[in-house]
Chains A and B, each alone.
Chain A
């Protein structure tokens, strides 16, 4: 996939969660331009066109939404969020935090750092599917981004 045509960047280290998310988005034809990275380091490389994306990424082409897990190896979601929101080139990119827990002590911190949404992934699959569907519809179809 051409990294410059990516609409959804999914940052998720749990492959099962990733599979369920992708499956639900695909069900509603919203996963065509989805790119999945498995940790924060890879996510930053993609977003800022560094590392293995140094040659292929054009920073002017931004994803419509970044779905970001918090608990990840190497670089966690908070750090990714901080870097994205403190850089003028990427600040406008919507970042939706996806986490397993409402106990998360970082929920306030995420909003302070400029997270656009904070979603607790429900254990119940039906609710989970519903949440992912709504999320996709909202950020990919409803939400208008600066051009």
Chain B
């Protein structure tokens, strides 16, 4: 686990203990260094002082070449237990006398060396001149061990270790108390935040545990909660208003829709009944009074019947158009290939079927309202059949092209086509580019196609050349 991942509580404790340890360590090392320096210096000075005293006392022994006196003077060093050995050399550098007297002379330096004291290994040793009235009489050698120093350091180390352990313990205890005052408010804050996000209850507030920065943080947190709560309240109110409005509008829409339905019902019912009467009685006239009608009269009755029939189709188409606009789209999988085959069998008159050469490419299944899409295909296919009717060799091609996110379906014929400049009018209700004498029709079929495709999230367009043919395209988005 990385340091950044451990809990704040432990981070704080570790930090405090670490800092405490570092401070103690640096302090101890400094003291130790100072102690070492001071001890060495004082030991050197002490040795030098002893050396000077011994040297002063030894002048007579050296001057009179008295080995006995010299031995006695050196023997006085017994009172200094740290001085392990000493020796006197005459002015020619020859060993004159030594201490302790029973030691092998080979353990002493053969000749006097540099006139100063030096630390070597565990000893401090060196030479000092013995002189009287500026006359060089000989040399003094002194060697002191540093046992005292090491003893002192051992005690120092033990004390230091004891102090360090004690301090660590105190630091740990203090940090444990201290971290609580920092980590507790943070943990409490985190706990509150967690509770709020789990229960979605924005009325909960974090408890403030002090006036420090964490206290300010808690205040800021609580202020934020108050704001969220207020905004929630506002949103809730707004939603409720919106819902009420939607309900109102829905009721209004529903009533309008009902009115429309009743209206189209009565149109289809009440307009069709008289038409049936007109056709019916015209037919009776033709059948029952045929002997009394001449050719002109029969032509006129035929005109009456045709016009009435046309009116009937118009009403039916208009009703389909209005129904398509009102009805909801119920999406299911539509097997387009199968649907197209069925429609061709249904809408193409038998006597025309053999004349038309069909080019049917495989087309994909789609998701859409089966009845509505059937209406689209019926209108497009019957249009293609109708407008290629006067061709020697009518040809109708049906297929599709995959595009990103949608499929483009097309129905192409080599019929009379249309002038491109009128192509925007094609899909408007009652807009026709051909007279009723040339081609029958109400001018609603393509408007129905446009309405259905747009309700499916697609669009429709046409390309055409006069007397060459027309192509109608519509898109359906992928499901």
Contact = CB atoms under 8 A, between A and B. Distances in A.
Given A123-B275, A123-B312, A124-B312, A103 B280 contact: no
B276 A100 contact: yes
Interface core residue of A23, A103, A104 (most chain B CB under 10 Å):
A103
Interface residues of A, number: 21
B276 A101 contact: no
Contact of B272 (A16, A101, A125, A129): A101
A129 B309 CA distance: 15
- Which secondary structure dominates where chain B touches chain A? helix
Interface in B276-313: 276-277, 279-284, 305, 308-309, 312
Nearest to B319: A103
A17 B261 contact: no
B134 interface: no
Contacts of B192: none
Contacts of A105: 261, 265
Contacts of A17: 273, 276-277
A71 B272 CA distance: 13
B226 interface: no
Contacts of A126: 283
Contacts of A121: 272, 276
Interface string A88-119: 00000000000111111100000000000000
- Which secondary structure dominates where chain A touches chain B? loop
B277 A16 contact: yes
Contacts of B367: none
B236 interface: no
Contacts of A122: 276
A53 interface: no
Nearest to B272: A100
A54 interface: no
B406 interface: no
Interface residues of B, number: 23
A123 B279 contact: yes
Interface core residue of B268, B279, B280, B319 (most chain A CB under 10 Å):
B280
A139 to B, nearest CB: 21
B234 interface: no
Contacts of B270: 100
Interface string A5-35: 0000000001011001001000000000000
A20 to B, nearest CB: 4
B323 interface: yes
Contacts of A123: 272, 275-276, 279, 308-309, 312
A35 B330 CA distance: 45
Contacts of B276: 16-17, 20, 100, 121-123, 125, 128
Interface core residue of A14, A16, A123 (most chain B CB under 10 Å):
A123
B345 interface: no
B106 interface: no
B274 to A, nearest CB: 8
B269 interface: yes
Given A14-B273, A124-B312, A101 B268 contact: yes
B280 A20 contact: yes
Contacts of A102: 268
B91 interface: no
Interface in A37-62: none
A80 to B, nearest CB: 17
B275 to A, nearest CB: 5
20 contacts: A14-B273, A14-B277, A16-B281, A17-B273, A71-B269, A99-B269, A101-B268, A103-B268, A103-B269, A121-B272, A122-B276, A123-B276, A123-B312, A124-B309, A124-B312, A125-B280, A125-B282, A125-B283, A126-B283, A128-B276
Given A100-B268, A129-B283, 20 more contacts: A14-B277, A16-B280, A17-B273, A17-B276, A20-B280, A23-B284, A71-B269, A100-B276, A101-B269, A103-B268, A103-B269, A103-B323, A121-B276, A123-B279, A123-B308, A123-B309, A124-B312, A125-B282, A125-B283, A128-B280
